[in-house]
């Protein structure tokens, strides 16, 4: 799994664009940021640090675009973060996880169905 670190707060950043790309990140929202952005001159930052800087680089102040798993828009993720992690814990973090995670496409559509319910 591809992982980086926020240059400001040190939080781990999961740079997988697939929701199942890094199961550890989905299980530990306090340790991993799933959304992030990078400034060409300064480095990579977690979504929290970018937001507290007003959508800008916490170091130089240039606007930064927040990216993450494309199946889930960031605004939607923010609104439903607890719900989504609860859902992950209940449905995916259990024996057989690997098999389920291997079917990435199916998993993404299940997440989206969950959101659209
Ligand atoms: Zn940060
Ligand atoms: Zn910068």
Question: What is each CA distance from 26 to 20, 60, 83, 105, in whole angstroms?
Answer: 8, 30, 12, 16
This prediction has a pTM of: 0.77
- Report the separation in Å between the CA atom of 61 and the middle of ligand 1, taken as the mean of its atom positions: 15
CA of 92 relative to ligand 2 center, distance in Å:
37
Between the CA of 51 and the centroid of ligand 1 the distance, in Å, is 9
Q: Rounded to the nearest 5 degrees, what angle is found at the Cα of 30, between the Cα atoms of 24 and 31?
A: 55
**Confidence (pLDDT) at 71:** 77
63-113: pLDDT as tens digits: 999 999 877 888 888 888 888 777 777 766 555 555 555 555 566 666 666
- Kindly report, residue by residue over 52-64, the tens digit of the pLDDT: 999 999 999 999 9
Q: Are 48 and 35 in contact (CB under 8 A)?
A: no
Cβ distance 31 to 12 under 8 Å? yes
Mean pLDDT of 14-24: 78
Report whether 22 contacts 14 (CB < 8 A). Answer: yes
Give me the residue spans of the domains in the chain.
3-116
Strand 43-46 and strand 12-14: the pairing is unpaired
Q: Give 66 Cα–ligand 2 centroid separation in angstroms.
A: 14
The pLDDT score that the predictor gives to residue 94 is 56
The pLDDT of residue 38 is 96
């Amino acid at each position: 799994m591809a992982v980086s670190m926020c240059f400001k707060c040190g939080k781990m950043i999961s740079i997988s664009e697939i929701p199942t790309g890094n199961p550890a990140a989905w299980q530990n929202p306090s340790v991993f940021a799933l959304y992030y952005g990078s400034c060409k001159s300064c480095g990579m930052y977690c979504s929290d640090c970018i937001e507290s800087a007003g959508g800008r680089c916490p170091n130089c102040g240039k606007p930064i675009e927040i990216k993450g798993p494309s199946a889930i828009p960031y605004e939607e993720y923010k609104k439903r973060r607890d719900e989504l992690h609860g859902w992950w814990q209940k449905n995916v973090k259990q024996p057989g996880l690997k098999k389920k995670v291997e079917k990435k496409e199916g998993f993404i559509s299940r997440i989206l169905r969950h959101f659209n319910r």
